[in-house]
Structure 1
């Protein structure tokens, strides 16, 4: 097992990488939609956000999430009577999501190794702030960053450059950590290292630039970077 030289800075994705989004599925059921549509909805809003990014826009995650929810609900036979209210209920779930079990010990181990930690999300900073704060981890993270303050969404290179500029770090000294291949691909394309967190055993797409590391958890990442 290889132990690459530890980066100075880890740029952590938030949604699904740190947060366990299982409660979103339950909220879909509560508002009258099939649970499995939660994944369809989230993938759709990311797709639309990236499409707008390609055309030079920087959309609001919340506005896009509501629009995507409305489009999905319109094609569902048992759509909620009040779609806007249902969309708001789903978005509220993001403010109370739990961490994956490996995140707290993993972040503590990484911080103990002297590696700087920041988050960078296509979503709102408030979601990450609440997620870390509820677990008592906010003191470990230097900056909670959102692409709302960057030129464009990830995986555009300008989003990663924004985080690096805030932290005063060169691309080669930073590593993006994410469960999304599109995110690690974008980071590598921008000159960063990348760690793909493969909790579900999903093969990495052969069409995308490979990550520096593939790990099963943040605790494994800390072990790999501690060699």
Structure 2
């Protein structure tokens, strides 16, 4: 793959669905959940994101941990799973999500090439820190940025501005990567050079912000930004 995005100074990653597999929480406890596990996992993610948008619209911010629990409560009720032990297991698993298989090698490649890396996430630090620590990838990131600092969720522009204020990089030097198409568009609208990590082959959202590139997983990132393997 030819270099598509030259002059990048830092790669900034969304966490959930981009670096870490949110489906791994349910997969770890599939037997306890039963036959509705896959549908519950999908609904949980949909409600989790929906609740962030609705809270932004209502001006009612709450930490992502609370939002994640509220979304799970809705999903457990919808699937008629009343066991509180299942809820406790799933919430605990969300603090230890598995990184996608290509992530460690990709981050190691960026580090060898001298490329800076950071995380920008809806997650609060109480969620992000244990997950990143468990993954043994913490030393790959110069910053783990949380929306908690601005008390607004993505795609509010104040979230993306955290990269400029905390990492000292202008938007045109940032390669932002997200598996959430709406997040990718929001970041592009802000001014980042944005790559949509389209893991499922989904159609593009019709939203403001022009995406710089689209990849199937993060293994293609080094070539995309000209970092030697």
Show the counterpart of 1:30: 32
Show the counterpart of 1:213: 213
Deviation at 1:132, TM superposition (A): 3.4
Contact 1:9 1:174 in 2 (8 A): yes
Q: 1:28 to 1:135 in 2, by over 3 A?
A: closer
For residues 24 and 208 of structure 1, what CA distance do their matches in structure 2 show? 32
For residues 128 and 29 of structure 1, what CA distance do their matches in structure 2 show? 26
Of 71, 79, 95 in structure 1, the residue corresponding to residue 81 of structure 2 is 79
Of 47, 51, 56 in structure 1, the residue corresponding to residue 54 of structure 2 is 51
Contact 2:150 2:158 in 1 (8 A): yes
Give the alignment's TM-score, normalised by structure 1: 0.88
Give the alignment's TM-score, normalised by structure 2: 0.88
For residues 154 and 176 of structure 1, what CA distance do their matches in structure 2 show? 13
Structure 1's unaligned 5+ residue stretches are none
Q: How many residues align?
A: 224
The list of structure 1 runs, each at least 4 consecutive aligned residues, that deviate by more than 6 angstroms after superposition, is: none
Deviation at 1:39, TM superposition (A): 1.1
Alignment of 1:58-207 (within 5 A): 58-76=61-79, 78-82=80-84, 85-207=85-207
Q: 1:183 to 1:29 in 2, by over 3 A?
A: farther
Structure 2's unaligned 5+ residue stretches are none
Q: Deviations over 1:117-168 (max 9, x none)?
A: 1101111334433343334321121111111122311111000112321111
Deviation at 1:2, TM superposition (A): 5.0
Q: Deviations over 1:57-77 (max 9, x none)?
A: 32211212222222233333x
How big is the alpha-carbon RMSD for the aligned residues of Structure 1 and Structure 2? 2.1
